[in-house]
Structure formats: structure tokens, C-alpha cells
Amino acid sequence: MRIVSVVGTRPQLIKAAALVPALRARHHDVFVDTGQHYDEAMAGAFFAELALPRPDHSLGVGGGSHAEQTARMLLALEPILVAERPDAVLVYGDTNSTLVGALAAAKLGIPVAHVEAGLRSFDRRMPEELNRVIADHLSCWLFAPTPAAVANLAAEGITSGVLQVGDLMQDLAARVAAEVRDAAALAAVASSLDLPLAPGGYAFATVHRAENREPSAMQAWAAILADAAAVRPVVLALHPGTRAALDAAGIALDPGVRVIAPQGYRTTLTLQLHAAAVLTDSGGVQREAGWLRTPCLILRDRTEWVEAVAESAGRIVVVGLDRRRAADEMARLAPADDALRLAAERAATMDLAPAGAAEAISVALSAAG
């Protein structure tokens, strides 16, 4: 089958890295990068690190308001789809690049394949929720990661073309986590970041959701991170959009919060695996913490990854921006006197298997083509 696959943001580059080898084993893949993310640390660096193919088309759209960004992407993508005449357009996840790939293709009558179909936060104030709903309703192949995602689609009347394939990101995490389980991997990261990081001796954090870039929300999660930093340093890999929002609001973080640039994939998994705990609003990071069995506080009111929370034996907790709750859960999940032992034990016993999603997606598309 001739497929145009569309990426644009950091998590989509990571998902593509998991899928592309299996996709290219059976299909002709034309790789399009919208350029929604454009910093070297948010996008460029992942091409080399994850051995991604060079894009056949780079749209270079960058940031802007939702309308501006989406409109620029639509205008740039349509002629490419017309010229490439693919049998299908494949999109990943729930970003504006996902929406555009699905919409441009559907309007041209090209079948759409959606990876990570069916996820719902049931909060339409989130831009991601709008993107997911629209992409799913325009798709012919709906590759759902979880049973809840399949059920969500069924509740919206979508049953045809739905296939539960498992979580594509787990395929990549399984391979890379095995390479970084040794404490030496953390020592190398500590040295490159020039931070004194020992297993269980720090917490790792990321924050980038649009709702967490509002001034009141930033004050609230900054307080949560400051409380965590009173016990052990918090390493915050800061998205450039969040950094800009903090600067604009004049919010300074506690000195115990060690702000670092966005990191590569391998470094990020290393930092998660050996941390005492992870604090995040990222969809990808919360699942990775779950697979690595690192305690995780989700800095959102709800999550679309309900199974990850349910299957975590209480290690993943949705705390929102509730400072009291976050402090209590940190004390429970990462006790000051035992975090080192727990972290070492986790790394030593880690046993993460691939989900097989990449192969399942590629095979399903073969059957169709």
C-alpha cells in the first residue's frame, strides 16, 4: 500500500520511530513532517537519535494560534496529498498535525488510518480532545491502544475498522528501557547534565499542557514541585512553550527545581526509570512511568489512559493541581527514607515487553491493501 504518514510534534516522532520499520517492511511510506515542533531539542534531535527517515516533505509551519497553525498546515499538506496520491494517510495521536492529516485526506477522499484512536478525556476544553474526536470520526482504520479506547469508539457508534493493537509507544520503550536499566546509564546522564543524580535521589517532571500554561495553574504546579523539591531535587525537562509562559507571567520556580532543556528519548527514559517519582501532565510520560513502575503523579484533573492508572497498583495517581494531595501521595509513593532502595529494586526487576502494536498495524494495513 502507498501510505503518506504525517508527523509534526515530539511524541509523533517517537511514535513514528516505533512504527516506521514495520510499516516500511510492507508498504511504501511517504514521510511528511508538518514542522509543528521545530526546535532542535523538540524535533530535529530525534531524527538522528531514533534513526527516523529524512522527511520526504517538510512543511515548516511552526507555531501560532490554533487557527493559524492548522490553516497553514492544511494549505501546505493538500497539494502534497494530491501529488502523492496515496492509498491511505496515517496520523498519530491527538495534535493539530493529527487533525490536519485526517481532515486534508478525508476531504480528498483518501482513507485515513488513526494510530491511538478512541482515547477520550471527556473534556472538550482540551484541544487534544477535539482533535481526537474529529480524527476518529474521519478514519477508516482506527488502531486503538486499549480496551477502553475500543469502548469509547463503540459509544460513539464507531465499530467498523476498529482494531485493538496495544500501545505503540510501549514497543519502543521496551527496547530502550532495557538499555538504560543499569545505574551507569544514569551516571552518564548526570554527568552530561552536570547534576548530582543518584537512583531514587531525585524526582523527574515535565509540564506542557495548554491548561497548565495559565498563570493560576502555573502557580499551583510550581508550588507542587517546590514541595517535592523540599525532599529531593526535582529535575524539570521544560517544554519551550511552558518556559515562555512562565517568563511571560513572571513566575520563578523554586531553586530546588532544576530546570533543564527538553531531553532526548533515551535520556528521558533513563531519568524516569531511576527517579524516586515522576510528576507530569504528559500522555506519553505517564504511560512510560507506568511501564517502568516508577511512581507517577499526573498533574491533570483526568486522564484518557484509564487502564494505565487502574493497572498501576496505586503507583499512578491523578492529583490535578491539588497541592495537599500531591504532597500526601509523594510521601506515600516515594518515602524519603526508602526511595533509594525502591528505585534500585525497580530497575533491577524491570521486565517490560513490547506490545506488538507496530507489527499489528502494518499487517492490518496489508490485509486492507
Angstrom distance (rounded) from CA 8 to CA 10 = 7
Residue 241's binding partner among ligand UDP, ligand UD1, none (Cβ under 5 to 8 angstroms by kind) is: ligand UD1
Alpha-carbon dihedral angle through residues 119, 125, 127, 133, given to the nearest 10 degrees = 40
Residue 288's binding partner among ligand UD1, ligand UDP, none (Cβ under 5 to 8 angstroms by kind) is: ligand UDP
Contact region with ligand UD1 (CB under 6 A), list: 33-41, 140-148, 167-175, 267-275: 33-41
Residue of 127, 201, 354, 356 that binds ligand UD1 (CB under 6 A): 127
Nearer to ligand UD1, 49 or 84 (CB): 49
CB of 284 to ligand UD1, least distance (A): 8
- Tell which residue, 273, 304, 302, 267, has the closest CA to residue 288: 273
Residue 262's binding partner among ligand UDP, ligand UD1, none (Cβ under 5 to 8 angstroms by kind) is: ligand UDP
Contact region with ligand UD1 (CB under 6 A), list: 34-42, 151-159, 167-175, 178-186: 34-42
C-alpha cell at 38: 521545530
> 238-248 burial, b for 16+ CB within 10 Å, e for fewer?
bbbebbebbee
Verify whether residue 208 is a known catalytic residue. yes
Q: Give residues 73-112 in contact with ligand UD1 (rule: CB under 6 A).
A: 94-96
Other Cβ atoms closer than 10 A to 65: 8
Binding interface with ligand UDP (CB under 6 A)? 10-11, 14, 206, 208, 237, 262-265, 268, 282-285, 288
Alpha-carbon distances of 325 from 119, 202, 228, 293, rounded to whole Å? 26, 19, 12, 20
Contact 80, 101 (CB under 8 A): no
Nearer to ligand UDP, 110 or 202 (CB): 202
CB of 40 to ligand UD1, least distance (A): 8
Three-state SS at 65: coil
Nearer to ligand UDP, 3 or 14 (CB): 14
> What sign results for the dihedral spanned by CA atoms 332, 338, 340, 345?
negative
Q: Judged by CB under 6 A, does residue 70 bind ligand UD1? A: no
Contact 90, 168 (CB under 8 A): no
Backbone conformation region of residue 261, classed left if phi is above 0, alpha if psi is from -120 to 50, else beta? beta
Q: Judged by CB under 6 A, does residue 47 bind ligand UD1? A: no
Q: Judged by CB under 6 A, does residue 300 bind ligand UD1? A: no
Radius of gyration of the chain (CA): 20
C-alpha cell at 349: 526487576
Q: Judged by CB under 6 A, does residue 178 bind ligand UD1? A: no
Angstrom distance (rounded) from CA 268 to CA 285 = 9
Nearer to ligand UD1, 55 or 241 (CB): 241
Q: What are phi and psi of 296, to 5 degrees?
A: -140, 130
Nearer to ligand UD1, 239 or 258 (CB): 239
CB of 355 to ligand UDP, least distance (A): 14
Q: Give residues 184-223 in contact with ligand UD1 (rule: CB under 6 A).
A: 208
Angstrom distance (rounded) from CA 46 to CA 9 = 10
Which active-site residues does the annotation give? 208
Binding site for ligand UD1 (CB under 6 A): 9-11, 36-39, 42-43, 63, 69, 94-96, 127-128, 208, 240-241, 244
